[in-house]
Amino acid sequence: MGRKKKKTEMKVQKIKAGGGVPFRYNHGKTEVLLIFRRGIWDLPKGKKEDHETFNECAVREVMEEIGASEVELSKQLIDTYHEYRQNEINYGKTTRWFAMKIMDNESGLQPQKEEQIEELEWCTLGQAKKLVGFPNLQDVLEDFGNKML
């Protein structure tokens, strides 16, 4: 009789993050701002500091990653969860998403090069859903459309 192999459980380090769907109204149409990082269209997000609320984290991360000086927190959107491996460590990231109106003039926005963000792009919601490189971001954008349009 053969022995049953034990499944090795992989430890997952939990991360909490905040992110945003930056948007503006342009000639009566709602546009969202995507970031281009590591070859993929994405939404701005980042790790929550211990002293921050999810709201504070999301606002800070969006402002840093797109170079905004002022955003207006609108509505809370869905939370997402995904796992990934980096430097031999398994991570499980829960991100709380928010709709955020960008108050800056478009010319003032700059991608955060330190975070490997190469480009910012305003697009319609439909275009954004096609461009984003992760399925859970399509869910976030769908929720944005349901709550904001």
CATH number of the domain residue 45 falls in: 3.90.79.10
**Residue 114 domain-assigned?**
yes
In a domain, 1, yes or no: no
Q: Whole-prediction pTM value?
A: 0.90
Confidence of residue 108 (pLDDT cuts 50, 70, 90): confident
Within-domain flag for 123: yes
pLDDT, the chain, mean:
93
Q: Name the domain count of the chain.
A: 1
The C-alpha atoms of residue 61 and residue 95 are separated, in whole angstroms, by 12
Kindly state the helix (H) or strand (E) to which residue 72 belongs, with its residue range.
strand 71-86
Distance, in Å, from the CA atom of 14 to the CA atom of 18, rounded to the nearest integer, reads: 14
Q: Over 90: is that where the pLDDT of 107 sits?
A: no
pLDDT of residue 19: 98
For residue 72, give both structure tokens. Answer: 């207006």
Range of the domain at 48: 13-148
